[in-house]
Amino acid sequence: MYKLYYSPAACSLAIHVILRELDAKFEAINTSLQEGKNRSPEFLKINPRGNVPVLVDNGAVIREGAAIILHLLDNNANNLLPKTGLERTRAIEWLMFANSTLHANYSKAFTVARAIPEGDAQQQAFKAIGDMIQKNWDELDATLANQQFLCGSQISPADILISVIAHWDVWLPQLSIKLGKNAQRLVNEVVARPAYQQALAAEQVTYQEAA
C-alpha cells in the first residue's frame, strides 16, 4: 500500500489522480499548505524541502513529482506511459515540461505573491512571469490544435499535470492567464475522467471555489 502526502488542489493532485487511474491501494495524508501542515516537524522529517507530493512505497520515500509518477507507472500496469522507444521519451519530455517548466514558472509567481509586497515591483514581477506562463500555455495550445492529447491519441501523465496546474489561476488571478480553446478542451476532458473526479471529491476540492 502506498502513502501519498498531498495538499488539496496542489501538484500532488496529479499523483492522486494517477493512483486512482491505476486502481492502486493507497492512503492519502492531507498535508495542507494553507494550514501549514507541510512545515510541521513530522512532515519536515519526511521531506526537509517542505513540499508535496511525497510518496512512500514500502518504506522508500520519493519526493519529486515527476519521479513519483515514473515510479508508479513503471511498477503498475497502465496505458499512460509507453514502455519503450521514442513514444516513451516524448511522454517523459512533456511530463518534464509540465513539471520543470510550467510548474516552475507558477512557483516563481507564488514566491512573488509571498515575498514581494503589493506595489509596482510586485506588479512588474507578475507581468514578467505571467508572460512566460502565457507562452507556455500558447505552446501547449498550438500542440493540441491537431491532436487530442499532448502525445497524440493516448492520454499521458503530462495531460493530467497540466490540467491540475490550469486551475491555479484562482490563487494567482494577477497573472491573467488565458487558456486557448485547445488547451481548455483538453483540461475539460481530463477533469471529467472518473479518476480525476474521485480525487477532487476525496480532497474536498470544488474548482469553482478552491483551484
Ligand X SMILES: N[C@@H](CCC(=O)N[C@@H](CS)C(=O)NCC(=O)O)C(=O)O
Cα(142)–Cα(168) distance, integer angstroms? 21
- Using CB under 6 A as the binding rule, whether residue 136 contacts ligand X is answered as no
Q: Which is nearer to ligand X, 38 or 163 (CB)?
A: 38
- Using CB under 6 A as the binding rule, whether residue 99 contacts ligand X is answered as yes
Kindly state the smallest distance separating residue 29's Cβ from ligand X, in Å.
Answer: 13
- CA-nearest of 188, 197, 148, 194 to 167 is 188
Straight-line distance from the first to the last Cα atom of the chain, in angstroms, rounded to the nearest whole number: 28
Q: Where are the alpha helices (DSSP H) in 31-115?
A: 41-46, 65-75, 85-96, 103-115
Q: Please identify which residue in 14, 18, 28, 33 interacts with ligand X, judged by CB under 6 A.
A: 33
Q: How many CB atoms lie within 10 A of CB 113?
A: 16
**Applying CB under 6 A, what is the total number of residues that bind ligand X?**
12
Q: Which is nearer to ligand X, 96 or 142 (CB)?
A: 96
Q: Which is nearer to ligand X, 107 or 147 (CB)?
A: 107
Kindly state the smallest distance separating residue 46's Cβ from ligand X, in Å.
Answer: 12
DSSP state of 169: G
Per-residue contact string for residues 43-72; x = within reach of ligand X by CB under 6 A: -------xxxx----------xx-------
Element (H, E) at 84: none
Distance of CA 196 to the CA centre of its chain: 12
3-class DSSP state of 125: helix
Cα(51)–Cα(130) distance, integer angstroms? 23
- Using CB under 6 A as the binding rule, whether residue 34 contacts ligand X is answered as no
Kindly state the smallest distance separating residue 205's Cβ from ligand X, in Å.
Answer: 13
- CA-nearest of 138, 142, 156 to 93 is 156
Give the chain's largest Cα–Cα span: 51
- Using CB under 6 A as the binding rule, whether residue 111 contacts ligand X is answered as no
- Using CB under 6 A as the binding rule, whether residue 133 contacts ligand X is answered as no
**159 phi and psi, to 5 degrees?**
-60, -40
Kindly state the smallest distance separating residue 19's Cβ from ligand X, in Å.
Answer: 15
Q: Which is nearer to ligand X, 39 or 127 (CB)?
A: 39
Q: Please identify which residue in 75, 79, 89, 107 interacts with ligand X, judged by CB under 6 A.
A: 107
Q: Which is nearer to ligand X, 110 or 185 (CB)?
A: 110
- Please give the residue ranges that form the binding site for ligand X (CB under 6 A): 10-11, 33, 38, 50-53, 64-65, 99, 107
